[in-house]
Amino acid sequence: MNQAEIFKEISGQRRSIRAYLSKPIPKQIIDEVFTISSRAPSNCNIQPWLVHIASGKVLENLRDILPKNFSSGDITFDFPYDGKYEGVYRERQFASAKAVYDSIGVTREDKEERQKQFMRNFTFFDAPHVAFFFLPEPFGLREAADLGMFSQTVMLNLTALGLGSCPQTALSFHADCIRETLGIDKSNKLLFGLSFGYPDEESPVNTCRTERADLDDLVTYHE
Amino acid at 108: R
Per domain, the residue ranges of the chain are 17-82+123-204
What is the per-residue pLDDT for 108?
85
Instruction: Spell out a b/e string for 149-178, using b for 16 or more CB atoms within 10 Å of the CB, else e.
Output: ebbebbbbbbbbeebbbbbbebbbbbbebb
Q: Which pLDDT tens digit goes with each residue over 69-128?
A: 999 999 999 999 888 899 999 999 999 999 999 999 999 899 999 999 999 999 999 999
Encoded amino acid at 94, one letter: F
C-alpha 83/C-alpha 12 separation (Å) is 28
Band of the pLDDT at 43, cuts 50, 70, 90? very high
List alpha helices for 111-214, DSSP H.
111-119, 141-160, 175-182
Q: What is the pLDDT of residues 143-180, one digit of tens each?
A: 999 999 999 999 999 999 999 999 999 999 999 999 99
Report how far apart, in Å, the C-alpha atoms of 215 and of each of 9, 11, 90 are.
18, 16, 18
Residue 1, pLDDT above cutoff 90: no
Label residue 132 exposed, middle or buried (CB < 10 Å: 0-12, 13-18, 19+). Answer: buried
Phi then psi for residue 207, to 5 deg, are -85, -10
User: Does the global pTM surpass 0.85?
Assistant: yes
Task: Kindly indicate whether the domain formed by 17-82+123-204 is annotated with CATH number 3.40.109.10.
Answer: yes
Q: Per this entry, what is the length of the chain?
A: 223
